[in-house]
Structure formats: structure tokens, C-alpha cells
């Protein structure tokens, strides 16, 4: 079995007239991450691979999870290829996960995240909001074979406040 955790980056700031990939998190994003991490801690099992887009807002969100869940450096990577808004490109990267990892947590961007949640999982959502988290299980032995899975957990900040 393979377990995919998709997390959309936290709410970002549009101040400072920065390029898209350099936009930082807003204060609200830290509060949202805190409540999602607190809920996810009860579900998470150590040993997952964590991958983040290199965009500042995604990487900062991923690092909040890294700290909150005590993820070792060896299980945490920043991948330039995850800075994508295209679900097919995102899925292609996910399918390269090492087979010895049964859990993969990906921090990325919409609309790719919402489209993947809906195309891979069995529960539809209108939008995966900022700092929203969705867990999908697949009855396969290889990441290359993930297609349609079962949505087993969705955590949205607004539902946890």
C-alpha cells in the first residue's frame, strides 16, 4: 500500500511586489499550520518522505510540518519540479518516489493540488484551501501504479479552528 499526503502551501502575502516563487507566508498561515499539524499528529506515522516545492510559501509551510512532526533531514527534500500548477506534471514527480517509502507528503500549489485530490481520491472537494491536507491510500506496491485511491482524511484549517 502507498499513502499520499497532499498539502497546499499556507496563505501567502502579496505585499512587497515579489516574484511569485518568492512570496512568503502571511501570519495567518502559521496559525493554520499549527491547527492542521496538531490534528495530523494523531494520524501520522514516522518514516514518510517529505517533498516540497522550492517556492518560499510552500517550503515555509513544509518546514512548519517538519518541525511539528519531527521529520529528520534525511526524509525532507525540496524539489524544483514541484513548483508547478499542472496536475500531470505534479503526478509525474510523485510517481518517482522511492519504492521503499510507503508514505509521501507533498507540499505544492493549486490548481494542481485540488485537481489531484479529486482525480486520485474518491471524495470530491471544490477547492483544497491554503494549508489544506488530504490523505489518499492506494492498494498498489509501486508509486508508478497509483491511479484511483481512497480518500481517508481531509483536514481543512477552517474546520479545525
Q: What residues does each domain of the chain span? A: 2-160
Is the pLDDT score of 161 beyond 90? Answer: no
Cis peptide before 111 (omega within 30 of 0): yes
Mutual orientation of helices 87-94 and 112-120 as an angle, nearest 10°?
70
| CATH class, 2-160 region | alpha beta
Which residue do the cell numbers 485511491 mark? 149
Using the Cα atoms of residue 32, residue 33, residue 38 and residue 41 in order, give the sign of their dihedral. positive
What confidence category does residue 14 fall into, taking pLDDT thresholds of 50, 70 and 90? confident
pLDDT (mean) for 104-108: 98
In this prediction, residue 16 carries a pLDDT of 76
Longest dimension (CA), the chain: 46
Is the pLDDT score of 39 beyond 80? Answer: yes
Nearest to 82 by CA among 21, 2, 144: 21
Mean pLDDT of the chain: 96
- Rounded to the nearest 10°, the torsion over CA 63, 55, 146, 149 is 70
pLDDT (mean) for 106-114: 98
Nearest to 21 by CA among 61, 56, 53: 56
pLDDT digits (tens, 9 = 90+) for 73-90: 999 999 999 999 999 999
In this prediction, residue 32 carries a pLDDT of 98
CA–CA distance, 15 with 67 (Å, rounded to integer): 26
In this prediction, residue 149 carries a pLDDT of 98
pLDDT (mean) for 20-30: 94
In this prediction, residue 54 carries a pLDDT of 97
pLDDT (mean) for 127-147: 98
In this prediction, residue 146 carries a pLDDT of 97
CA–CA distance, 119 with 52 (Å, rounded to integer): 21
> Torsion-angle region of residue 99: left (phi > 0), alpha (psi -120 to 50) or beta?
alpha
Amino acid at each position: 500500500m502507498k499513502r499520499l499526503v497532499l498539502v497546499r502551501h499556507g496563505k501567502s502575502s502579496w505585499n512587497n511586489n515579489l516574484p511569485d516563487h518568492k512570496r512568503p507566508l502571511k501570519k495567518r498561515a502559521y496559525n493554520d499550520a499549527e491547527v492542521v499539524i496538531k490534528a495530523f499528529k494523531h494520524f501520522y506515522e514516522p518514516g514518510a518522505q517529505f517533498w516540497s516545492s522550492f517556492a518560499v510559501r510552500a517550503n515555509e509551510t513544509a518546514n512548519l510540518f517538519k518541525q511539528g512532526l519531527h521529520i529528520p533531514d534525511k526524509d525532507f527534500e525540496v524539489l524544483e519540479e514541484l513548483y508547478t500548477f499542472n496536475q500531470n506534471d505534479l503526478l509525474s514527480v510523485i510517481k518517482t518516489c522511492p519504492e521503499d517509502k510507503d508514505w509521501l507528503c507533498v507540499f505544492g500549489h493549486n490548481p494542481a493540488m485540488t485537481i489531484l485530490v479529486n482525480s486520485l481520491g474518491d471524495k470530491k472537494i471544490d477547492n483544497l484551501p491554503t494549508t489544506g491536507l488530504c490523505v489518499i491510500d492506494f492498494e498498489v506496491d509501486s508509486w508508478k501504479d497509483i491511479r484511483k485511491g481512497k480518500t481517508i482524511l481531509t483536514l481543512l484549517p477552517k474546520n479545525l479552528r
